[in-house]
Amino acid sequence: MPERAARLNNLPVYFFAVIAQKIQALQVQGIDVVSLDIGSPDLPPPRAVIDALSHSAYEANVHGYSGYRGIPAFRRAVAHYYEKRFGVSLDPEKEVLPLLGSKEGIVNLSLAYLDRGDLALVPDISYPSYSMGARLAGGDVCWIPLSQETHFLPDVLTVPDSVADQAKLLWVNYPNNPTGATAEPDFYQTVIDWSIKHDILLASDNPYVDVTYDGYKATSVLEIKDAKKCAIEFMSFSKTFNMGGWRLGAAVGNADVIKTLLQVKSNVDSGHFRPIYDAGIEAIETTPQSWIDDRNDIYQHRRDRILETLPKIGLQAQKPKGSLYIWARVEDGNGDKYVKQALEQAHVAFAPGSAYGPGGEPYIRISLGISNERLEIALRRLKDWYPNRKEIN
């Protein structure tokens, strides 16, 4: 067989696939593993969303191709959501593009804008697809440091002009995966002004905007002055409406960027099954805020239970106001070892912080996407294990 493409040489196996293999190996031995690694909602979408999918699927005329840009009603629904939620006006014909989940759009954006040797600015603790997409496109990654001291916000003003002038793409993501950090309008304004100055495309990944706690309300980059001059935002139904497996999202913002992203997408996929769009319309137009609040209360309870336990299992963390995760620093600063020990000895799976970039090595990520019952099992195991853990390399 021919050799695989050289672009894969700098692309490691997706770390969740590696963890899944280890979990499967333990399960084959009859060992129960509690998974706190993957950020997949464990609760269903609203019942009306499921009913909308079912009713649409029974229609005789919905089983053909739905078009590269999705259906107009879905694009209008996304635009209406942005108007209602953020006060942002979007043209559904030019500034909204449906996606097969925001992850697809993230990678395709890099393919659309980065050639070999082009530079993407990526926080050194961030969702892996930002850097992996750049590498798939043949581009280079310049890591921007994040730290607890700076509230896990990148300081773009410290990026040398010589680097900024070479860069084509900058990623931000708040509420943040994996840190749970949040960003305020003044941060976005600084980043927008800086991006315009250096002619950089600002990509805001915003899937956790409606997963927030303690009364906090997250924002959109598009609310900020001049955002559409340089920015695009990815929104997702996965976390807001518990529709992770449905793979439904959208890119919104700068019309030229949307047009360029469509050029890639139209050569890669043929859009969603029509009933998925119909269910998405139902979700975004009829789901009451009370449903989102009640769901977030469940996550907040889990967050607080985990935070109570962390000091007893060698971890510390700040209380996140958003996202589906707790970003916990390991007592001895070795996140990879902690994850390995916890899986092999306590049979609890975490995501290692190193999987999110070079700044994440002292941390682990803990997901709130698990039932209360299973969470309590995991916490009991960890409290029993940590004082008696066996050292391994």
Mean pLDDT of 276-294: 98
The domain 47-286 is classified under which CATH number: 3.40.640.10, 2.130.10.10, 3.40.50.2000, 2.60.130.10? 3.40.640.10
Judge whether residue 258 has pLDDT over 90: yes
Mean of per-residue pLDDT scores for the chain? 95
**Residues linked to residue 119 through DSSP beta bridges, in sequence order:** 140, 167
Judge whether residue 23 has pLDDT over 80: yes
Residue 286: both structure tokens together: 């009829």
Mean pLDDT of 120-124: 98
Judge whether residue 262 has pLDDT over 70: yes
How many Å apart are CA 186 and CA 267, to the nearest integer?
A: 38
- How confident is the model over 57-105, as pLDDT tens digits? 999 999 999 988 999 999 999 999 999 999 999 999 999 999 999 999 9
- pLDDT in the model for residue 5: 87
- pLDDT in the model for residue 339: 95
Judge whether residue 309 has pLDDT over 80: yes
Mean pLDDT of 132-147: 96
How many Å apart are CA 367 and CA 342, to the nearest integer?
A: 15
Judge whether residue 10 has pLDDT over 80: no
Asked if residues 130 and 170 have their Cβ atoms less than 8 Å apart, the reply is: no
- pLDDT in the model for residue 286: 98
Residue length of the chain: 393
- pLDDT in the model for residue 390: 85
Half-sphere exposure of 310 (CA within 13 A, CB side): 22
25-39, 208-222, 248-262: least confidently modelled range: 25-39
Residue 87: both structure tokens together: 């006060």
Backbone torsion region of residue 315, taken as left when φ is above 0, otherwise alpha when ψ lies between -120 and 50, otherwise beta: beta
- pLDDT in the model for residue 343: 96
Mean pLDDT of 223-233: 98
How many Å apart are CA 366 and CA 369, to the nearest integer?
A: 9
Q: Please name the residue that has the structure tokens 């921007």.
A: 144
Mean pLDDT of 309-318: 98
12-16, 49-53, 295-299: least confidently modelled range: 12-16
Read off the pTM.
0.94
- pLDDT in the model for residue 162: 94
Phi–psi pair at 146, nearest 5 degrees:
-120, 150
Judge whether residue 393 has pLDDT over 70: no
CATH code for residues 6-44+290-388: 3.90.1150.10
Measured N-to-C along each axis, helices 102-113 and 128-136 cross at an angle, to the nearest 10 degrees, of 40
* pLDDT category of residue 115 using cuts at 50, 70 and 90: very high
- pLDDT in the model for residue 335: 96
* pLDDT category of residue 274 using cuts at 50, 70 and 90: very high
Residue 28: both structure tokens together: 């084959």
* Residue 222 neighbours by CB distance under 10 Å: 25
The domain ranges of the chain are 6-44+290-388, 47-286
Judge whether residue 18 has pLDDT over 90: no
- How confident is the model over 350-381, as pLDDT tens digits? 999 999 999 999 999 999 999 999 999 999 99
- pLDDT in the model for residue 9: 81
- pLDDT in the model for residue 287: 98
Asked if residues 335 and 362 have their Cβ atoms less than 8 Å apart, the reply is: yes
Mean pLDDT of 305-320: 98
* pLDDT category of residue 6 using cuts at 50, 70 and 90: confident
Whether omega before 175 lies within 30 degrees of 0, making that bond cis, reads: yes
Mean pLDDT of 3-17: 79
Half-sphere exposure of 130 (CA within 13 A, CB side): 28
Name the CA dihedral angle for 38, 351, 306, 149, rounded to a multiple of 10 degrees. -120
Residue 390: both structure tokens together: 């066996």
- How confident is the model over 148-199, as pLDDT tens digits? 999 999 999 999 999 999 999 999 999 999 999 999 999 999 999 999 999 9
